Amino acid sequence: MKTAVLRDPQLSPETYDSLRARIRDGFDDLSPHLQRLARSALDEPNYFALNTVAELARHVSVQPSTLIRFAKEFGYDGFSKMQRVFRLRLIEGTPDKRAEIYDDKLAGAPIQKMSHIFETCIDELIASLESVRENTNTDDLAKAVAMIKAANHVHIAGLRRARPIATYLAYGISRSEQHCSLLDFAGGMAEQQVVNMGQDDLLICISFPPYTPAVLNVIRDAHLRRRPIIAITDSLESPLAKNSTLAFLVDNETTSQFKPISGAIGLVQALCVGLVEQPT
């Protein structure tokens, strides 16, 4: 199978016609599972545009992570970015046609039962975990464990969706008897805590789009002070990745309102277990 080159984020958005031609031309080089997705994309572009990762995966009988691999095969770094091309096709259509498509979807959709909502959420959590397993370098995990063990004190920054991830990481590091604390954003002392960081201290920052300004401020301050930094974020273009010593990318591909944190939790749990089980 050919390996696709990721699209340059500075390029203008790809048109649906261009993407459709590339899918058609590359069809024979795809695996059977990816060919099933390609057929759906070519034959049912409206369905492809309007449904979640979990619903599309169920529709073509593949794992949710297969949609991420499908997008990467055609140069996108995540499925949601590829799906935007299909949605743009609807937006650029005539108002009457666009309304007809959305009205048909709503009219034919039964009220979701809680069981369906639950299954969809679980599918998205699994997809997040599978993506992290596929894209995380275990040598980098070993480096991160070594950085944490070598630190005199570990400071952790994470707000909003990243807050429970940061809290769990702080819990795990503390359980390994390392000196660790969450930065005090609520009390307004986070930036001062970074100023007080010693040369042997470590900062771990966690943030995803839209990035929290307070977290961006502390990672930039730590970077300027040349302190070691581990980042957990979404892409190499992230300001966290650009200012870190070591970055882990968590690809949370979903179109739902509440993006899963399971991949990031799996990542930090591996770090915590590594602190206990890896030899010093």
pLDDT tens digit string along 152-164? Answer: 999 999 998 899 9
**Are 16-109 and 136-277 equal in CATH topology?**
no
pLDDT at 12: 55
User: Which residue, 161, 182, 159, 136, is CA-closest to 274?
Assistant: 136
What confidence category does residue 56 fall into, taking pLDDT thresholds of 50, 70 and 90?
Answer: confident
Here the tokens at position 72 are 């990467």
Question: Which has the higher per-residue pLDDT, 213 or 14?
Answer: 213
CATH architecture of 136-277: 3-Layer(aba) Sandwich (3.40)
Kindly report the CATH number that applies to the domain delimited by 16-109. 1.10.10.10
Q: Domain map of the chain by residue range?
A: 16-109, 136-277
Instruction: Say if residue 10's pLDDT is above 50.
Output: no
Burial class (CB in 10 A: 0-12, 13-18, 19+), 25: exposed
pLDDT tens-digit map of 263-279: 899 999 999 999 988 76
Residue 208 is predicted with a pLDDT of 87
What pLDDT digit, counting tens, does each position of 126-175 carry? 888 888 888 899 999 999 999 999 999 999 999 988 999 999 999 999 98
Q: Can you give the pTM of this predicted structure?
A: 0.64
* pLDDT tens digit sequence for 175-234: 888 899 999 898 888 888 888 899 999 999 999 888 888 999 899 989 998 999 999 998
